[in-house]
């Protein structure tokens, strides 16, 4: 048998576009697999020259599935640049919108994007292994999943006027107060939302119990973990310090987001447009870490809401009290976070300040530079702006959530390919496992544009001389 290269392009059921190349040796064993992020966006450069108060409308166009995260991170950076911290009611309203974003994004990913693999099976016919197949297999659960995402989107719409690319948060606060009737509308759907998330957690636990062999060998590897925490190291998604722990769980750093450049650097490889962040003191690649749901639950010592905290205690036992390294447990962590977000909605709506009209600070003490950090559904999102005294942006640095996980996604692809593809036959289900390693991280590789309908996929297997050996196609 001659050496081969297998290409998966595009990777499906993620936000954005990427491909995977799997290099096989003469015996049909995997030598190395690569994740290639092969789209180029350039937002950092073409935001130069814009005004700092425009960034809340421009940067959400980076992403069509989590624009709220960029919207709020841009506002938080603008708060610092212009020296206008928002009043407390405005911060509560921003966080409320963010909780809606977490609920809708995490819910959609578990049920609609990752769900076909987990609930129908990695080896299920790809003609069935999709959201339509889920509806046919369990219509009651599918309806609940749609309602879950709708609930999160409705929070965003009520506050921001529309479900995608809202117009709400501005430097110094927000532009709309919450009305009592709107609060009551959000509260009315909260019980069903929590119930659906608890159902999702039960589904995930049942799947994990039946598929423990896969969980224990599917891209399990040590890294550091990074994310925001409260002062007492509780889970935090909106505002806090950044905590970094080692692969064994010891705290390496806890620092203000404004100082992230003292701790984080970025590495470049010639096979991807996406950079590789790492912890400076350990260097590359020893300083790699993971973010997002798995990372956040590993760095959090507790959760300040009762239902999610009870689940966190179970999560913490999965690896004997050490950080959980199993890539497939991203899905469990994602649901726990969504449950926390739903409980947090209740806390925010019960706060008397949530209905206040004191929502904008118009006084400014111009600083010229500022960092806005938020925990987007996919991980820690950093916006860093430098501006002229008139507010015109002269430099932008963005570390997008998925960027932090770039090394981990690449490692997961390589690990899963080597574990499951043992040759000589290469089945579609094995290639789907490689894609599922990427989906576990719920990457957003820009996701501003999508094809309508099912994305075609073609996998070409080539001989060393470049001639075509075999083609697997889905039209």
CB count in 10 Å sphere of residue 271: 11
pLDDT given at position 460: 61
475 pLDDT band (50/70/90 cuts)?
Answer: low
Instruction: Please give the average per-residue pLDDT across 352-375, as a whole number.
Output: 97
pLDDT value at 337 more than 60: yes
46 pLDDT band (50/70/90 cuts)?
Answer: confident
pLDDT value at 447 more than 50: no
Both tokens of 198, joined, read 């608890």
Instruction: Please give the average per-residue pLDDT across 311-330, as a whole number.
Output: 97
Which tens digits make up the pLDDT trace of 116-137?
Answer: 888 888 888 888 888 888 888 8
The helix (H) or strand (E) run that includes residue 413 is helix 406-420
Which tens digits make up the pLDDT trace of 176-202?
Answer: 999 999 999 999 999 999 999 999 999
Q: What is the mean pLDDT of the chain?
A: 88
pLDDT given at position 14: 56
39 pLDDT band (50/70/90 cuts)?
Answer: low
Which tens digits make up the pLDDT trace of 290-318?
Answer: 999 999 999 999 999 999 999 999 999 99
> How far is residue 160's CA from residue 167's CA, in Å, rounded to a whole number?
5
274 pLDDT band (50/70/90 cuts)?
Answer: confident
pLDDT given at position 450: 28
Share of the chain above pLDDT 70, in %: 89
pLDDT value at 457 more than 80: no
Q: Which residue has the higher pLDDT, 222 or 463?
A: 222
44 pLDDT band (50/70/90 cuts)?
Answer: confident
Helix (H, G, I), strand (E, B) or coil at 281: coil
Q: Which residue has the higher pLDDT, 58 or 88?
A: 88
Q: Which residue has the higher pLDDT, 114 or 175?
A: 175
pLDDT value at 453 more than 50: no
> How far is residue 335's CA from residue 118's CA, in Å, rounded to a whole number?
14
pLDDT value at 100 more than 80: yes
pLDDT given at position 29: 76
> How far is residue 396's CA from residue 383's CA, in Å, rounded to a whole number?
8
Instruction: Please give the average per-residue pLDDT across 100-121, as a whole number.
Output: 91
pTM of the model: 0.89
pLDDT value at 27 more than 90: no
Q: Return all residues near 148 (Cβ < 8 A) that are at least 6 apart.
A: 103, 104, 107, 111, 193, 196, 197, 200
Q: Return all residues near 109 (Cβ < 8 A) that are at least 6 apart.
A: 334, 377, 442
pLDDT given at position 23: 77
Q: Dihedral through CA 63, CA 64, CA 65, CA 66, nearest 10?
A: 40
């Amino acid at each position: 048998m001659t050496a081969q290269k297998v290409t998966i392009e595009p990777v499906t059921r993620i936000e954005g576009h990427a491909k995977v190349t799997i290099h096989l040796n003469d015996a049909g064993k995997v030598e190395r697999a690569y994740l290639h992020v092969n789209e180029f966006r350039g937002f950092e450069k073409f935001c130069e020259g814009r005004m700092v108060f425009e960034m809340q409308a421009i940067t959400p166009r980076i992403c069509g599935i989590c624009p709220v995260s960029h919207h709020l991170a841009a506002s938080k950076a603008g708060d610092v640049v212009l020296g206008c911290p928002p009043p407390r009611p405005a911060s509560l309203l921003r966080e409320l919108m963010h909780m809606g974003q977490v609920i809708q994004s995490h819910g959609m990913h578990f049920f609609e994007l990752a769900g076909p693999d987990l609930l129908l099976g990695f080896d299920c016919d790809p003609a069935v292994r999709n959201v339509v197949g889920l509806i046919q297999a369990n219509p009651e659960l599918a309806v609940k999943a749609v309602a879950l995402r709708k609930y999160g989107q409705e929070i965003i719409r009520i506050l921001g006027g529309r479900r995608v690319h809202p117009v709400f948060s501005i430097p110094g606060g927000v532009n709309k107060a919450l009305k009592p009737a709107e609060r009551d509308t959000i509260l009315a759907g909260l019980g069903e939302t929590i119930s659906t998330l608890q159902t999702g957690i039960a589904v995930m636990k049942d799947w994990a119990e039946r598929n423990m062999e896969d969980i224990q060998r599917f891209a399990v590897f040590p890294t550091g973990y990074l994310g925001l925490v409260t002062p007492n190291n509780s889970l935090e998604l909106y505002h806090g310090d950044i905590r970094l722990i080692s692969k064994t769980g010891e705290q390496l750093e806890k620092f203000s987001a404004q100082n992230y450049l003292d701790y984080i650097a970025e590495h470049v490889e010639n096979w991807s447009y996406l950079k590789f962040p790492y912890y400076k003191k350990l260097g590359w690649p020893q300083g790699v870490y993971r973010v997002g749901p798995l990372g956040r639950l590993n760095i959090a010592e507790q959760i300040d809401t009762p239902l999610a905290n009870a689940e966190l205690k179970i999560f913490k036992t999965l690896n004997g009290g050490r950080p959980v390294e199993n890539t497939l447990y991203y899905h469990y962590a994602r649901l726990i976070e969504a449950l926390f977000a739903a409980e947090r909605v209740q806390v925010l709506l019960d706060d008397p300040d949530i209905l206040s009209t004191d929502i904008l600070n118009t006084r400014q003490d111009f600083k010229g530079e500022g960092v806005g950090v938020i925990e987007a559904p996919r991980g820690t999102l950093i916006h860093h702006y430098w501006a002229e005294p008139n507010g015109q942006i002269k430099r932008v640095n963005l570390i997008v959530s998925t960027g932090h996980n770039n090394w981990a996604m690449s490692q997961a692809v390589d690990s899963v390919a080597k574990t499951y593809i043992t040759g000589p036959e290469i089945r579609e289900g094995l290639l789907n496992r490689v894609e599922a390693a990427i989906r576990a991280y719920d990457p957003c590789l820009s996701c501003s544009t999508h094809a309508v309908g099912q994305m075609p996929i073609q996998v070409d297997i080539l001989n060393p001389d470049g001639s075509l050996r075999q083609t697997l196609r889905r039209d």
